Amino acid sequence: MSAGINEVEEPNSKVLRLGADAPLQLESGAILAPLQIAYQTYGTLNAERSNAILICHALTGDQHVANVHPVTGKAGWWLSLVGPGKPIDTDRFFVICSNVIGGCMGSSGPASINPQTEEPHGTDFPVLTIGDMVRAQARLIDFLGIETLLAVVGGSMGGMQVLAWASMFPDRVFAAMPIASSAKHSAQNIAFHEVGRQAVMADPDWRRGRYVLEGTRPVKGLSVARMAAHITYLSEAALQRKFGRNFQDRDAPTFSFDADFQVESYLRYQGISFVERFDANSYLYLTRAMDYFDLAADNGGSLAAAFKGVKTRFCLVSFTSDWLFPTSDSRQIVHALNASGASVSFVEIESDKGHDAFLLEEPNLFATARGFLDSAARARGIKEAGR
């Protein structure tokens, strides 16, 4: 479909293919079958099948957590956190990450071929929810023969999936770690997503979602969407610290619409590089799933009811300068978990890096993850690495 993305049908990943005999019923009422789930694993599942950690990726992430990315050639997006001896220690844990359905790295999504038409789905792909993503992941966990995950961990949209896992499959989640996330998408966040979708759909090369068939790609629209979103991932302080009002390769303004300022040049690069690795329709579907996420609404208006009787132990993390998923969002979840009698710890990490902090070198995040997972592993009787 693009120069960059040839991962849709035959990804550089393990693949679970479920046929028409195992249809996935979606929240919309639509049926998804066949269903393909692309995933990566790291480490070894122990004999007791008790050491599996599922990582859930964010909006523009994928399953390539800790290996070189097959499209960009860059290091895995959470290589700082996941690997031998790292906080999510692959010498000790069996780590799984699957591309979400609706994505474009090998799991069924709008870029996948619709077997009925033998053309890419485009916008005839059913609109999904976070819950649907989790139901698909549960199929993979079934397939891997894992009854109860040691932990489900993820940031941002990944954190939404963690919360949905604990709410929908409480017996299958021993520990849950939602990072920089929320139990519902805010009006402001819906608004930013809507801007991004309108930018994509305004691009005449979007062709009502049929761009692959028509040999075009809405690169300009998707690039603008990414630029707008990227601002929300950083804090004002981080932008000030990194770029301020510095000029890019010049000493004075050009009095033109060139990228005079470093921050402009940086944003343009973020937009351009994103379109090389991401499918525009997937962007529409995944932002929509996040907008629809409202765990309280799904449980009669009570967030505590979403976690009723849950035995999962929780650790929530937020970052002080994150204005997309602010600490107040995490605190709301903590209150609901307390109300439902769950075991919960909460760490607000001081950082000026904004929402992006969950992907960056944050020693306090690493220490928190290590401590929480180590404690969960010991509670579950999992041996330390190398013993």
**Residue ranges that bind its own copies, judged by CB under 8 A:** 27-28, 30, 123, 126-127, 184-188, 190-192, 194-195, 197-199, 201-204, 220-221, 223-224, 227-228, 231, 234, 236, 239-240, 242-245, 253, 255-257, 259-261, 263-264, 267-268, 271, 284, 288, 291-292, 294, 297, 323
355 is catalytic: yes
Whole-number minimum distance, CB 281 to its own copies, in Å?
10
Please identify, using beta-carbon distances, which residue of 3 and 187 lies nearer to its own copies: 187
Please identify, using beta-carbon distances, which residue of 64 and 220 lies nearer to its own copies: 220
Nearest to 373 by CA among 204, 186, 231, 177: 177
Please identify, using beta-carbon distances, which residue of 179 and 229 lies nearer to its own copies: 229
Q: Strands 14-18 and 113-114: what pairing?
A: unpaired
Whole-number minimum distance, CB 129 to its own copies, in Å?
8
Please identify, using beta-carbon distances, which residue of 70 and 326 lies nearer to its own copies: 326
Task: Name residues whose C-beta falls within 8 Å of residue 337's C-beta, 6 or more positions apart in sequence.
Answer: 304, 307, 310, 314, 344
What CA–CA distance (Å, rounded) separates 161 from 71? 25
Per annotation, catalytic residue among 291, 294, 322, 356: 322
Please identify, using beta-carbon distances, which residue of 205 and 348 lies nearer to its own copies: 205
Whole-number minimum distance, CB 221 to its own copies, in Å?
7
Specify the 3-state DSSP secondary structure of 83: strand
In one-letter notation, the amino acid at residue 70 is P
Whole-number minimum distance, CB 165 to its own copies, in Å?
21
Which residues on adjacent β-strands are paired with residue 32? 24
Per annotation, catalytic residue among 13, 98, 156, 282: 156
Whole-number minimum distance, CB 224 to its own copies, in Å?
5
Rounded to 5°, angle at Cα 194 from 26 and 57 = 55
Task: Name residues whose C-beta falls within 8 Å of residue 344's C-beta, 6 or more positions apart in sequence.
Answer: 313, 314, 315, 316, 334, 337, 338
Alpha helices in 144-218 (DSSP H): 157-168, 187-202
Per annotation, catalytic residue among 57, 64, 185, 355: 355
CB 107 within 8 A of CB 10: no
Burial class (CB in 10 A: 0-12, 13-18, 19+), 9: middle
Please identify, using beta-carbon distances, which residue of 64 and 288 lies nearer to its own copies: 288
| Residue matched to tokens 């690493």 | 366
The DSSP symbol for 204 reads G
Whole-number minimum distance, CB 61 to its own copies, in Å?
22
Report, as residue numbers or ranges, the catalytic residues. Answer: 156, 322, 355
